[in-house]
Chain A
Amino acid sequence: MDATATPAIAVENLVKRYKSVTAVDGISFRLAPGSITGLLGGNGAGKTTTIAIIMGLIEPTSGTVSVLGAQMPKQRYRVLHRMNFESPYVAMPLRLTVRQNLSVFAQLYAVADIEGRIASLAADLELTEFLDRQTGKLSAGQKTRVSLAKALLNRPEILLLDEPTASLDPDTADWVRSRLESYRIDHGATVLLASHNMTEVERLCERVIIMKTGRIEDDDTPQRLLDRYGRETLEQVFLDVARGRSGQREAAQ
């Protein structure tokens, strides 16, 4: 990242403790505007907590998080309308139709021309034929597309994605990745993607932050990580990190 550029997201010495458990342990990183970064880590690595703090849903124990210049969570209402997120761990009301759900969120985000925006997103995400169907009657893949439509309603400058393709079949997951990729390119959005899926991170991300037990274990481009660990895939790199084998040592061997 250009040292002079104002970061879209700046995390400094972030710590989050829950009683005796330290979920995030003094991490720092900066994301350049328009970049796409993968946050990799196993279960309990601190990815979801980090994203939730960036969204202003969790108060950090110490450290600071700045999003588009606003301190989170204190100044969250300055920027929430410029952000959005998608996660399989939250859902939209199942009894409402897709159109009703999207129009409610569009109104919450003060989207102009709500009907036009919904129609355009529905066409782009191939949801037009489902718009008047109850959200609960859609398949998992269709629901993910609805969640993605909700996440893109306000044309966010910051898009936070927590395992956006979890529980999707490979074809649907690949389709979702394509749409995310084209959205970022078309809108210059900054994307932070938490995932277990190495293929996804390898394909989408220009930078990868690997977390383990609340700390950043490594942070680089996918290619440099592969080179440093002497591996062919990010999955192998991830396993090296998870099992405590450092990149420097592997490279030296």
Chain B
Amino acid sequence: MNDVGLEFSVNRVAAMVRRYWYLLRSSWPRVLDLVYWPTVQMLMWGFLQLYVTQNGGLFARATGVFIGAVLLWDILFRGQIGFSISFLEEMWSRNLGNLMMSPLRPIEFIASLMIMSIVRLLIGMVPVTLLAVAFFGFNLWSLGFALAAFFVNLILTSWSIGIFVAGLLLRNGMGAESMAWTIMFLFLPLACVYYPVAVLPHWLQYIAWALPPTYVFEGMRALLIDHVFRADLMLEALAFNIVLFAIASLAFLKLLQSARVQGSLLQTGE
């Protein structure tokens, strides 16, 4: 048996997923919250897009760029929030001590949070993508393989950030809760969600290109404006994501170890 907790049990992951599923279905405000903001965002950006396309120019041939950007941004943002909220649920309910004392390995805990982030995303995003078809004739699903490549890269980034935030929460308690809600917004200007990287000052472009989502949003614009699928961008994003995921996982393990040293696993308050 492995002493460092790398042994993996699908059964224990299933137990945790079941726990989060019970929680989700027990509370309609939690479910509503999954759909509410993505819908509001999509409608707002959709109508803005309608306005600018009706006024000609570059935007006239950029059909769906704004709606596509907002939907992909929501995959990135909601993926991380879904991960972090499931983790926060354990802190809010003071259940973390029970879990840390159980045979649940950190890797299984993380795996269950990843699964729940996808479950929550599907509940929130599928209705919104259907509304985008109904309101604006924009069908995200028609992107096919490209959508799969975008999704894989965005969800990997959101998991990496979620894992890092979970480590911060373990180490610093609820004092780090605001990080869970705000950290992803750092990506909003730098990952060039709504505009091309070329808009940024030259020196800032180096930072932008170090972030995996930047490749996804550039790839989306290439697909929707120039009708070209940039596989090279997706592969570069994947490479950066692998590095980011490894760094986040190591940071999580370090922060968990630090929490054991500081005795903060039982004291999860502020």
Q: A-side interface residues toward B, CB under 8 Å?
A: 16, 18, 23, 48-49, 52, 55-59, 73-78, 80-81, 83-85, 87, 89-97, 100, 103-105, 107-110, 134, 150
Contacts and interface: CB of A to CB of B under 8 A. Distances in A.
Given A58-B265, A92-B98, A77 B1 contact: yes
23 contacts: A16-B263, A48-B266, A52-B263, A56-B101, A57-B101, A58-B260, A58-B261, A59-B261, A76-B3, A81-B103, A83-B101, A91-B93, A92-B95, A96-B23, A100-B22, A105-B98, A107-B11, A107-B12, A107-B15, A107-B18, A108-B103, A109-B102, A110-B11
B3 A93 contact: no
Contacts of B104: 108
Interface of B: 1-3, 5, 7, 9, 11-12, 14-16, 18-19, 22-23, 26-27, 89, 93-105, 257, 260-263, 265-266
Contact of A75 (B3, B14, B18): B3
Given A94-B93, A100-B22, A107-B18, A150 B98 contact: yes
A94 B15 CA distance: 17
A232 to B, nearest CB: 35
Q: Which of A23, A105, A150 has the largest number of chain B CB atoms within 10 A?
A: A105
Given A48-B266, A77-B7, A108-B104, A59 B257 contact: yes
Given A18-B262, A18-B263, A77-B5, A108 B12 contact: yes
Given A59-B257, A74-B3, A77-B1, A104 B15 contact: yes
- Complex A-B, nearest 6 residue pairs according to Cβ-Cβ distance, in ascending order: A107-B15, A90-B97, A91-B94, A59-B260, A104-B19, A93-B93
A107 B17 CA distance: 11
Contacts of B262: 18
B137 to A, nearest CB: 40
Contacts of A81: 103
B265 A57 contact: yes
A167 to B, nearest CB: 14
B102 A93 contact: no
B93 A78 contact: no
Contact of A85 (B9, B22, B99, B101): B101
Contacts of B23: 93, 95-96
B158 to A, nearest CB: 24
B49 to A, nearest CB: 39
B260 A90 contact: no
A204 B98 CA distance: 24
B103 A107 contact: no
B103 A89 contact: no
Contact of A104 (B18, B27, B96): B18
A239 to B, nearest CB: 28
A105 B26 contact: no
A8 B7 CA distance: 25
A96 B19 contact: yes
Contacts of B101: 55-57, 80, 83-85
